[in-house]
Amino acid sequence: MIYAGNFKTNHTRFSTREYINKLNLKLKDKNPEDKIYIFPPLTAIDNYSGNFTIGVQNAYPIQNGAFTGEVGIEQLDEFNIKTILIGHSERREILGESQEFVAKKFAFFQKMGFEIIYCIGESLEIREQGEDAVIEYLLAQFEGIDTDYNNFVVAYEPIWAIGTGRSATTKEIEQTHNALKKRVNRPILYGGSVKGENIAEIASIDSVDGVLVGGASLKVDSFLELVFHQK
Ligand code: PEP
């Protein structure tokens, strides 16, 4: 299983270091087959080491240059960052990233050899139209994406389940992941209100290869509860 924590606009450099120190104490006992990723905010990126991978929640598809407020490869290289989230619904919806731009980012970071966690997800309006509409909508989010790239993971995150406390049902996750697996031969994470109370059920779904977690990753103890959940 993959366990990825997305801090979004939470935590500072100081609190991230504290978090990672605590995480490291416990991760020595983790299942060697599990992989852990942490995505802190950009100002908290540092040279951390441990049994996990640090990635960024965003970067601009450029080496360096005149892109006010953005960071490129030059800044990521300083911290040896080689992992990035692309296509998160908050960037698509709030920051206005189009599928075209998301695909451009994907192609750039693919060329740079990054490991990409590629997020897709549907709104409640689409979900209410039924499974076929959901799949059609999700597949459109692979437009312009080289799904043969061997260093990317898909994160299926229904927008209506993100930060709402309402996770998709086991049946919805299973059906959607199974349909996606017919299109992409890559690991698929589920994201959307994953927490201590539902991790065992979600992790038991065959087509779930891991979880991308927002809220429940913010406290190290609740993130560890996911990593060390009982089956
Ligand atoms: C996310 O935004 O990636 C996410 C899954 O958030 P939450 O776990 O808070 O629903």
pLDDT at position 167: 87
Of the CA atoms within 13 Å of residue 159, those in its CB half-sphere come to 20
d(CA 25, CA 39): 19
CATH value at residue 45: 3.20.20.70
pLDDT at position 197: 96
Residues near ligand 1 (Cβ within 6 A):
6, 157, 162-163, 191-194, 212-216
Tens-place pLDDT, residues 108-140 = 999 999 999 999 999 999 999 999 999 999 999
CA of 89 to the centre of ligand 1 (A): 10
Tens-place pLDDT, residues 28-77 = 999 999 999 999 999 999 999 999 999 999 999 999 999 999 999 999 99
Tens-place pLDDT, residues 7-37 = 999 999 999 999 999 999 999 999 999 999 9
Question: How many domains are contained in the chain?
Answer: 1
Boundaries of domain holding 90 = 2-227
Q: Which atom of ligand 1 is nearest to the CA of 6?
A: 3
Please report how the helices 131-140 and 170-183 are oriented relative to each other, as an axis angle in degrees rounded to 10: 40
Instruction: Give the pLDDT mean for 176-202.
Output: 97
CA of 97 to the centre of ligand 1 (A): 18
